[in-house]
Amino acid sequence: MSDLVADLLAGKHSALARVITKIENRSPGYREVISDLHQHTGTADVIGVTGSPGAGKSTLVDKVAATYRERGLTVGVIAIDPSSPFSGGAVLGDRIRMASNAGDMDMFFRSMSARGSLGGLSTATTDAVTALDAFGKDKIIVETVGAGQNEVDIVRTADTVAVLVPPGSGDDVQMLKAGILEIGDVFVVNKADLDGADRTVQQLREMLQGQSGRPNSGHHGATELAGDHGDASTDDADAVDDEPETWDPPIVETVANRGDGVEDFLNALATHGEYLDRTGRREGQARERFAAEIRTLLREDANELLVDELDRRGGIEQYVDAVIERHTDPYTVVDEVLSPLRECLDDPGDGS
Amino acid sequence: MSVEQEQTERTIRCLVAKVGLDGHDRGAHVIARALRDAGFEVIYSGLHRAPDEVVQAAVQEDVDVVGISILSGAHNTLVPKILDGLKEYDAFDDRLILVGGIVPDDDQEELRGQGVDEIFGPGASMEEMIDYIHENAPER
């Protein structure tokens, strides 16, 4: 075990920060670090917070983190901001909103930039959560702008996903339909003191009910089918029923900058946590997550091997030339490059 | 992979911090943008930060560069507090500490003695600062 890992496990803040830096940079040795940390994880409760820019994510996260800290829990936050596609630089401003936790070292806040390669970011986020979990954080919050598939992937790191919707965003609510709606376990209409908040709550409620019969229950592509009682409100959710218990996402109203509704929000998160434990969904989600992680890593590593192999064969350009000249075709090229690998794997007598 | 190769690929992270009762953040904004455009990742602290908040940010964000902007003249009080905090969390040695603002010559001497790497006063150009960071960013 490296000194860095030992320092992190001993609770040294700078070591935790350095591990996350290694993860972000994919510095040599970061894989060993994550491997060493893995066995120390599994105790943290991971919450994902997403929503359109300006919805109030950072402000709400600040208040939530402060409330957890008052309850004596330790908190880690990862806030992900976009980076400039031109310079690769970024201004990470979420920290400005962290006023309620100023100077509190047991509230670990880390800004991460998308660094242009969103695909890899979900891996980096997963690894950063691993680091915070191993460090011993009770609650880990992952905060990101909800704008598409990549963010959805990031948010899947979480046990419970909260989706923030600002009021008066009729079109935004429409947009939510396209993906974010399915992954939300708890919906938050923030800035609920503004005009149009009631209407937004109403729209959200209609949309969520309109989804009854969706193969929902938890989130993250749950396997069991929702029953016919999709209209059942949360109140009679514990009615005696042989159907697998489903989750109806609650809608919470908050005014994050005043701290209004934060308790309600935390209660909703806790209720979802209990639901996950009661139904065994938490374990199921963890299994799905690890399966997805293994698949992603396999794909990335195999891809790297193939890039090296292509280089050894003189680069991709010569193949492209041959394809353009109609001497060969892409499928034949792939077969040719992959054939040694295929032989290796098909030969049972070798290296098994 | 050689260290040199790693250095060129590494993204440099900078903290731009405003400390104390100083409401002048125009310069800090301009600098944050310039650093971003130079390809750095910039964490901006916001106004009126206490020294321990700056330390918290510098440690947790694991920045390579701690940029402290002070135009209020309180640098002799605030900067040492930040330096002490960084040392306490073992986050002083491998970090570049820069101060920007109006610092009299006598004070500059003292701040450098305490561990500030460079001080940029009025008239310093962006290129100067960006070049300085590129040349002096700590190897890790």
pLDDT at residue A219 is higher than 60: no
DSSP states of A316-330: HHHHHHHHHTTSS-H
Nearest to A27 among B6, B39, B61 (CB): B6
pLDDT band at A230 (very low <50, low <70, confident <90, very high): very low
Least confident of A143-157, A176-190, B28-42: A143-157
Contacts of B82 (CB under 8 A, 6+ apart): B19, B51, B54, B55, B58, B66, B68, B97
Segment B80-139, tens digit of pLDDT: 999 999 999 999 999 999 999 889 999 999 999 999 999 999 888 999 999 999 999 988
Contacts of B45 in chain A (CB under 8 A): 95-96
Q: Rounded to whole angstroms, how far apart are CA atoms A240 and A217? A: 17
Give the mean model confidence (pLDDT) for residues A316-343: 92
Instruction: State chain A's mean pLDDT as an integer.
Output: 83
Give residue A140's identity as a one-letter amino acid code: I
Asked whether the beta carbons of residue B46 and residue A95 sit closer than 8 angstroms, the reply is yes
> What is B65-96 written as a DSSP string?
EEEEEE-SS-HHHHHHHHHHHHHHTT-STTSE
Name which of A145, A156, A150 is nearest A82 in CA terms. A145
According to DSSP, the β-strands at A75-81 and B118-120 are: unpaired
Q: What is the pLDDT of residues A260-270, one digit of tens each?
A: 999 999 999 99
Q: Which helix (H) or strand (E) holds B44?
A: strand B41-44
Enumerate the domain spans of chain A.
Answer: 42-232+243-284, 298-346
Q: Quick check: A95 and B44 CB within 8 A?
A: yes
**ipTM score:** 0.87
Looking at domain B3-136, its CATH superfamily turns out to be Cobalamin-binding domain (3.40.50.280)
Q: Hey, where are the domains in chain B?
A: 3-136
Q: What are residue A141's DSSP bridge partners?
A: A47, A77
The answer to whether A135 and A76 have CB atoms below 8 angstroms apart is yes
For chain A, say whether B84 makes contact (Cβ under 8 Å): no
The pLDDT of residue A146: 62
CA distance A134 to A40: 5
Interval A263-309: pLDDT, tens = 999 999 999 999 999 999 999 999 988 998 899 889 988 988 888 88
- Answer yes or no: do A89 and B42 touch at CB < 8 A: yes
User: For position A53, what pLDDT does the model report?
Assistant: 78
What are A248's two structure tokens? 């109806």
* Among the partner residues B36, B60, B90, nearest to A89 by beta-carbon distance: B36
Tens digit of pLDDT for each residue in A9-50? 999 999 999 999 999 888 888 999 999 999 999 999 999 998
pLDDT bin (cut points 50, 70, 90) of residue A320 is very high
Could you report the per-residue pLDDT of A169-186, keeping only the tens digit for each? 655 566 565 666 778 899
| B59 in A contact zone (CB under 8 Å) | yes
Q: How far is CA A86 from the centre of its chain?
A: 25
pLDDT of residue A235: 45
Tell me the nearest-neighbour CA distance from B56 into chain A, angstroms: 6
Are residues B42 and A14, on separate chains, in Cβ contact within 8 Å? no
B48 vs A contacts (CB less than 8 Å)? none
- The amino acid that residue A176 corresponds to is L
Say which residues have a Cβ less than 8 Å from residue A343's Cβ, sequence separation at least 6: none
pLDDT of A148 reads 56
Band (pLDDT 50/70/90 cuts) for residue B51 is: very high
Correct CATH for A42-232+243-284 of 1.10.10.10, 3.40.50.720, 3.40.50.2300, 3.40.50.300: 3.40.50.300
Contact between chains at A91 and B39 (C-beta distance less than 8 A): no
What is the rounded distance in angstroms from the CA atom of residue A13 to the CA atom of residue A3?
14
Using CA coordinates, name the residue in chain A closest to B86. A14
3-class DSSP state for residue A123?
A: helix
Which chain B residues contact residue A120 at CB under 8 A?
none
